[in-house]
Amino acid sequence: MQPGLPFDASASNLEPPSPLQPLEPLEPLEPLEPLERQPYPPAVFVRHPRARRYVVSVKEDGRVRVTLPRWGSMREARAFAGRLDAWIERQRRRLEEERLRRVPAPPDHLQPEIRARAKCELPPRLLELAAELGLVVSQVSVRNQRWRWGSCSPNGHVCLNWRLVNMPPWVRDYVMIHELMHLRRMDHSKKFWKLVAQACPDYEAARRWLRENGRTL
């Protein structure tokens, strides 16, 4: 007797089975809940001949790219990426927050109004930051600088780009602190960046924001 049969073939009192009736076609089953769409596409695994280790990176659109060394295996790569789930989620949240903070360039007809607002708002904030840092500014100007967000002269004259008024406050503060630190060091040496980091701990995130969004302003 084969295992798993729902009857005993040796029983003598069984009636012959009735002929099978044709089944009526069933309507397609509807899901109980709408199927959840995955917010991000599956991770992409790429083997690189010069890679020396497994590397996980998160792209601007939230996609995950896993780089395998030549000797690596998919099993180890998946396990490695799985251990970084929390980190990947943090990176995706950060990218989404940065995307939401991006400010589109103002229309041309609004620029005079925005420039006027910049002249009213930017100098007081710069002087406020200077006071907090114990620095003295001799003059503040708001100009239409094409290639700089700001500048600082040795005599304490700070020039600010009017487009700073369109930036998130924490990015705008970084630019101002950057220029104020030139009152202590007129260079971009390691000592200068150490001063910036002490006064603005999130300066690297602000610099990244400027690189990614500065052209839109």
Alpha carbon 208 to chain centroid, angstroms: 10
Q: Is the CA virtual torsion 207, 150, 101, 126 positive or negative?
A: positive
Q: What is the pLDDT along the chain (217 residues), one digit of tens a residue?
A: 444 333 343 434 444 444 444 433 333 333 333 334 446 778 899 998 888 899 999 887 788 999 999 999 999 999 999 999 999 998 888 877 776 565 555 666 667 888 899 999 999 999 999 999 999 999 999 998 777 899 999 999 999 999 999 889 999 999 999 999 999 999 999 999 999 999 998 899 899 888 888 777 6
Quickly tell me which residue has 């001063």 as its tokens.
195
Cα 106 to Cα 99: distance, rounded to the nearest angstrom: 17
Joined together, the tokens standing for residue 150 give 């700001």
What pLDDT is stored for residue 149 in this prediction? 92
* Domain architecture of the chain: domains with CATH: 44-101 (no CATH), 108-216 (3.30.2010.10)
**DSSP structure string for the chain:** --TT-SS-TT-SSPPPPPPPPPPPPPPPPPPSSPPPPPSSPPPEEEE-TT--S-EEEE-TTS-EEEEE-TT--HHHHHHHHHTTHHHHHHHHHHHHHHHHH--PPPPGGGHHHHHHHHHHHHHHHHHHHHHHHT---SEEEEE--SS-SEEE-TTSEEEEEGGGGGS-HHHHHHHHHHHHHTTT-SS-SHHHHHHHHHH-TTHHHHHHHHHHHGGG-
Quote the pTM value.
Answer: 0.53
What pLDDT is stored for residue 68 in this prediction? 92
What pLDDT is stored for residue 17 in this prediction? 44
Amino acid (one-letter) located at 29: L
